[in-house]
């Protein structure tokens, strides 16, 4: 019997998603945590096990030194910060460490800034390494799940991916009211939000469009708001009747003027709104329109009280599972279309 490979992994950042990823690496039967980078000075020097809620120490202490991480002997870095540090990424890749990231910058290289793309590709060539962007959305639902559904067709019309996120149980007043705008007076949709989603989701959909031979030549981003019909008390506070109770952002990829791929982010604190958006419980719906149309509904079968503990895994687990495939891939920016199917290792 051949000896099973163990991947030496670094976790970069310990936010909500990073902490779940960290724990999964520590508990993984075929991975060894060899390093941990943190942004907060208060976390420096603390054990990785403590930082992800495990009762036992790992012996791996957190650092905020890029040089210390670069000096490690590691196969892969799980890169999950709030922003993309291009200098750090280039240093990690050039040092011989592959990268799997939840940052959405690398879903479709042709849509990247040309200078940044050149820097990353040069670092990959220098370190003989690869980098891959993935997660639940974008990533799994817009690429890994979309492609098999399209494989049932020979004539393609439109693929629509609806994401539903019920935010009513989230006790984050600043996020819901000040940043997202729930409970605010009705007015024009802030187009900057639509453009922000257009970057990540437009790139992810463009990857699929290119792969199926219908390259995207235009991406449209449209945002809409809908008012709640009644006063609401949600976990974060009060949402008065007539104020923003739901928002929908639609990213549409077009080929020669025809819509071929569409992602709709439906975020809401109530389904009792002025528009008929057919809102449902949190999850996804994928619907193909072609010669063999199908509809797939995905629900999250957990209690509302367990959502906070459940949802980080949706984004964190796929990157962890992708480590072996990315480490084995050819150097460069690798996409879902290019990589083999991501198969999790449980033993």
Asked whether residue 278 is assigned to any structural domain, the reply reads yes
Residues 100 and 185 in one domain: no
Range of the domain at 285: 153-293
Residues 271 and 202 in one domain: yes
CB neighbour burial string for 160-184, b if at least 16 within 10 angstroms, e if fewer: bbbbbbbbbebeeeeebbeebbbbe
Considering its fold, how many domains does the chain have in total? 2
Residues 92 and 211 in one domain: no
Residues 194 and 250 in one domain: yes
Residue of 183, 292, 170, 178 whose CA lies nearest to 230: 183
* pLDDT tier, 180 (very low <50, low <70, confident <90, very high otherwise): very high
Asked whether residue 239 is assigned to any structural domain, the reply reads yes
Per-residue pLDDT tens for 240-274? 999 999 999 999 999 999 999 999 999 999 999 99
Per-residue pLDDT tens for 58-113? 999 999 999 999 999 999 999 999 999 999 999 999 999 999 999 999 999 999 99
Residues 243 and 165 in one domain: yes
Residues 187 and 225 in one domain: yes
- The per-residue pLDDT for 308 is 85
- The per-residue pLDDT for 11 is 98
State yes or no: pLDDT of 1 exceeds 80. no
Residues 26 and 59 in one domain: yes
Q: Where are the alpha helices (DSSP H) in the chain?
A: 16-27, 48-51, 66-70, 86-94, 114-127, 146-150, 173, 191-211, 307-328
Domain containing 319 — which CATH number? Answer: 3.40.50.720
Residues 158 and 131 in one domain: no
Residues 98 and 165 in one domain: no
Asked whether residue 120 is assigned to any structural domain, the reply reads yes
269 vs 3, 166, 274, 320, CA distance in Å?
51, 6, 13, 31
* pLDDT tier, 177 (very low <50, low <70, confident <90, very high otherwise): very high
Residues 212 and 282 in one domain: yes
- The per-residue pLDDT for 236 is 93
- The per-residue pLDDT for 332 is 98
For residues 208 and 145, what is the distance between their CA atoms, to the nearest angstrom?
A: 11
Residue of 59, 19, 22, 62 whose CA lies nearest to 38: 62
Per-residue pLDDT tens for 38-51? 999 999 999 999 99
For residues 261 and 254, what is the distance between their CA atoms, to the nearest angstrom?
A: 7
Asked whether residue 79 is assigned to any structural domain, the reply reads yes
Question: Whole-number mean pLDDT of the chain?
Answer: 96
Asked whether residue 157 is assigned to any structural domain, the reply reads yes
Asked whether residue 303 is assigned to any structural domain, the reply reads no
* pLDDT tier, 209 (very low <50, low <70, confident <90, very high otherwise): very high
- The per-residue pLDDT for 287 is 98
Residues 77 and 160 in one domain: no
If phi > 0 it is left, if psi is from -120 to 50 it is alpha, else beta; for residue 153 that is: beta
- The per-residue pLDDT for 7 is 98
Residue of 25, 23, 27, 21 whose CA lies nearest to 7: 25
Per-residue pLDDT tens for 113-132? 999 999 999 999 999 999 99
- The per-residue pLDDT for 245 is 98
Residues 250 and 318 in one domain: no
Residue of 139, 193, 132 whose CA lies nearest to 333: 132
* pLDDT tier, 204 (very low <50, low <70, confident <90, very high otherwise): very high
Asked whether residue 247 is assigned to any structural domain, the reply reads yes
Asked whether residue 289 is assigned to any structural domain, the reply reads yes
- The per-residue pLDDT for 304 is 81
């Amino acid at each position: 019997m051949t000896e099973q490979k163990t991947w030496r992994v670094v976790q970069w950042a310990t936010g909500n998603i990073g902490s779940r990823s960290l724990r999964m690496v520590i508990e993984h039967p075929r991975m060894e945590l060899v390093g941990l980078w943190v942004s907060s000075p208060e976390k420096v020097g603390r054990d990785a096990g403590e930082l992800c809620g495990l009762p036992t120490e790992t012996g791996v202490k957190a650092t905020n030194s890029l040089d210390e991480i670069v000096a490690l002997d590691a196969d892969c870095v799980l890169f999950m910060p709030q922003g993309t540090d291009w200098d750090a990424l280039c240093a990690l890749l050039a040092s011989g460490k592959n990268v799997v990231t939840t940052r959405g910058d690398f879903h479709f290289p042709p849509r990247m800034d040309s200078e940044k793309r050149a820097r990353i590709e040069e670092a990959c060539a220098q370190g003989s390494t690869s980098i891959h962007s993935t997660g639940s959305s974008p990533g799994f639902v817009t690429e890994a799940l979309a492609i098999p559904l399209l494989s049932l067709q020979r004539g393609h019309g439109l693929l629509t991916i609806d994401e539903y996120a019920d935010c009513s149980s989230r006790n984050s007043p600043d996020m819901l009211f000040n940043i997202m705008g729930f409970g605010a007076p009705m007015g024009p949709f802030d187009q900057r939000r639509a453009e922000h989603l257009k970057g990540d989701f437009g790139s992810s959909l463009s990857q699929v469009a290119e792969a199926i031979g219908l390259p995207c030549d235009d991406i449209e981003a449209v945002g809409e708001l809908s008012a709640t019909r009644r006063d609401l008390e949600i976990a974060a506070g009060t949402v008065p009747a007539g104020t923003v109770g739901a928002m929908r952002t639609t990213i549409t990829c077009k080929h020669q003027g025809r819509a071929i791929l569409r992602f709709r982010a439906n975020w809401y604190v109530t389904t009792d709104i002025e528009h008929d958006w057919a809102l449902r419980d949190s999850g996804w719906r994928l619907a193909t329109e072609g010669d063999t149309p199908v509809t797939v509904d995905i629900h999250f079968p957990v209690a509302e009280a367990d959502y906070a503990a459940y949802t980080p895994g949706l984004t964190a687990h796929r990157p962890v599972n992708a480590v072996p495939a990315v480490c084995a891939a050819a150097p460069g920016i690798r996409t879902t279309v290019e990589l083999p199917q991501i198969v999790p290792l449980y033993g």
